[in-house]
Structure 1
Amino acid sequence: MISILQFKASNTAMERQNSELYLRNCQIMMENERLRKKAQRLNQENQALLSELRRKLAAINAKRKPEFEGDMGSSSASDQMEANKRQALE
């Protein structure tokens, strides 16, 4: 049988271990909260950068569109001139 002294010593060791585990758990929860907030800030920053990138790409595409249409127009004009030359030769 376990003596009273052994039981008290065992109980004290368990209480100490329980206290250590409790403190470690509190530290982990605090670190988890800190990391959650950091992840949230990084996500917000990422969303802002993505939005800025999309705005810049839209501006670039808006500038390129008239140039592209102009190139097609000149290409069509040169195609038309070639067709006119062929007709004149026939």
Structure 2
Amino acid sequence: MCYKERNKAMERLNSKLYVENCYIMKENERLRKKAELLNQENQQLLFQLKQRLSETKNPNGSNNDNDICSSSSASGKS
């Protein structure tokens, strides 16, 4: 195989890898956004669960918001 043929083959391979890399980056971004949405949903569900647990621990209706707030702020979320 001469130099020009080898060079063309390398250019084709490089182009193919470039397109594949672009696809992977788009898919990665899509998955990152989906993971963020799932994380937000999980945080909301956790908050609701903590509220329900707090209500069952305090059946007289007085919620202990300090417990919920302190555990939420410890995770970096509020």
**TM-score of the aligned structures, taking structure 1 as reference length:** 0.64
Consecutive unaligned residues in structure 2, runs of 5 or more: 61-78
Consecutive unaligned residues in structure 1, runs of 5 or more: 65-90
Looking at CA atoms only, which structure, 1 or 2, has the larger radius of gyration? 1
Q: Relative contact order (C-alpha < 8 Å, sep 6+): which is higher?
A: 2
Bigger share in helix: 1
> 1:4-83 counterparts in 2 under 5 A?
6-63=2-59
Q: Matches of 1:17 and 1:45 in 2, distance apart? A: 42
Q: Matches of 2:57 and 2:6 in 1, distance apart? A: 74
**TM-score of the aligned structures, taking structure 2 as reference length:** 0.73
Please provide the CA RMSD for this pair.
Answer: 1.4
